[in-house]
Amino acid sequence: MTDFHIGRLAVIGVGLIGGSLALALRDAGVVDDIVGAGRSIENLETALELEIVDRYCLDPVEAVHGADLVFLSTPVQTFGTLAGQLLPAMKPGAILTDGGSVKGEVIRRIEPLLPPGIAFVPGHPIAGTENSGATAAFSTLYRDKRCILTPTPSTPAAALETVRRMWQVAGSEVVVMEVEKHDRILAAISHLPHMIAYTLVNAVGSYDHFEENILEYSAGGFRDFTRIASSDPTMWRDIALTNREALLEMMERYEKFLAELKEDIRSGEGQKLYDFFLKSKLLRDAIL
Ligand code: NAP
């Protein structure tokens, strides 16, 4: 039993992230009314059928009327425009929070728009899959995962506590982190791997030395490695553009390591290659 309670929750973007939060809170019995908003009526109808939302509005401004908590879970480049529309319609004392994968740019876009009496708590659940839309949502997505919150000096302590409790109820361990640290860590452990997976699929997929499509020969290794290249292109375009500096820095670091590896292969440095692969294996084994 928990004493945590939300009267009305508005989820803007009822996809994997927003839909899963709605389902987790519904399963925990802590929310009275869940209103969804989004772009296509098809996805919102699906969300209604799957009982992710109690009702939906095509107009996000209508969806936030009377909401105690508004969760933004659309692609990050939409946040500024959406916040500009939603914030004036939110009731005094309500909280706006988000699940966007980038935090610095999101805060720069939303904080200047905040009217008095509305709190903004920037957040990012470290959980996901390569699937999108309401059909991809499931109630246990956040269980035993982390959720990072990146409050700023303007974030009211009470609102931070409410959002912390919300993620705990959804099953996550909440970590409060400084914004720049979040964006650098995520550039390294999430955004860079996605860029590499997309690049690998394109590089191999465009190899036309043979008449056949060589991707048809791909098996476990290639498929495991590139699973995340099936992720939504709009979402990843937005992440790449809004976490540009940290991502470019990590891509340069990666290029340096790849260049060294190429050089060791070219010059037949067997021991160096062995040491490099062993070091990597030990680092990866340790995180599993
Ligand atoms: P998703 O499954 O594609 O859901 C996004 C939803 O937003 C879709 O239902 C879409 O509606 C709606 N939408 C898109 N553009 C919109 C707009 N301009 N106005 C209103 N609604 C709009 O994506 P997701 O994976 O849940 O990601 C949502 C957010 O969570 C992103 O900011 C992402 O960076 C972040 N995030 C993702 C993951 C992950 O692994 N996927 C992990 C952590 C955080 P339609 O279906 O009608 O197009």
Ligand 1 centre from 251 Cα, in Å?
25
**Given this model, what pLDDT does residue 2 score?**
77
For 194-207, the pLDDT digits (tens) are 999 999 999 999 99
Residue 3: closest CA among 139, 172, 165: 165
Q: What is the pLDDT of residue 277?
A: 98
The average confidence (pLDDT) of the chain is 97
Assess whether the C-beta atom of 36 lies below 6 angstroms from ligand 1. no
For residue 18, how far is its CA from the centre of ligand 1 (angstroms)? 8
Q: Residue 39's pLDDT band (boundaries 50, 70, 90)?
A: very high
- The answer to whether the CB of 130 is under 6 A from ligand 1 is no
Pocket test for ligand 1, best of 20, 43, 74, 78 (most atoms within 8 A of CB): 74
- The answer to whether residue 271 scores a pLDDT higher than 80 is yes
Could you give the angle at the alpha carbon of 252 between the alpha carbons of 273 and 80, nearest 5°?
140
pLDDT higher than threshold 80 for residue 280 = yes
Proportion of the chain above pLDDT 70, given as a percent:
100
Task: Categorize the per-residue pLDDT at 217 as very low, low, confident or very high, splitting at 50, 70 and 90.
Answer: confident
DSSP secondary structure of the chain: -----EEEEEEES-SHHHHHHHHHHHHTT-EEEEEEE-S-HHHHHHHHHTTS-SEEESSHHHHHTT-SEEEE-S-GGGHHHHHHHHGGGSPTT-EEEE--S--HHHHHHHGGGPPTT-EEE-EEEE---S--SGGG--TTTTTT-EEEE---TTS-HHHHHHHHHHHHHTTPEEEE--HHHHHHHHIIIIIHHHHHHHHHHHHHHT--SSSS-GGGG--HHHHHHHGGGGS-HHHHHHHHHHTHHHHHHHHHHHHHHHHHHHHHHHTT-HHHHHHHHHHHHHHHHHH-
pLDDT of residue 212: 87
Average confidence (pLDDT) over 20-35: 98
Q: Which atom of ligand 1 is nearest to the CA of 125?
A: 43
Ligand 1 touching residue 74 (CB < 6 A): yes
**Cα 241 to middle of ligand 1, angstroms:** 16
Neighbouring CB atoms inside 10 A of 82's CB total 22
What is the end-to-end Cα distance of the chain in Å, rounded? 32
**Residue 1: is its pLDDT beyond 60?**
no
19 lines ligand 1 (CB under 6 A): no
- Percent of the chain at pLDDT exceeding 90: 94
Ligand 1 centroid to Cα of residue 263, in Å, is 41
Nearest CA to 21 out of 137, 160, 123, 163 is that of 137
From the CA of 60, give the closest atom in ligand 1. Answer: 20
d(CA 239, CA 17): 15
What is the mean pLDDT of the segment spanning 234-263? 98
Residue 211: pLDDT band (50, 70, 90) is confident
Residue pLDDT, tens place only, 105-128: 999 999 999 999 999 999 999 999
* pLDDT above 90 (res 63): yes
**Ligand 1 centre from 186 Cα, in Å?**
18
Per-residue model confidence as pLDDT tens digits over 159-206:
999 999 999 999 999 999 999 999 999 999 999 999 999 999 999 999
Query: Is the pLDDT confidence value at 246 over 90?
Result: yes
Instruction: Report the nearest atom of ligand 1 relative to the CA of 238.
Output: 34
99 lines ligand 1 (CB under 6 A): yes
Closest residue to atom 41 of ligand 1, CA basis: 128
What average pLDDT does this structure show over 146-170?
Answer: 98
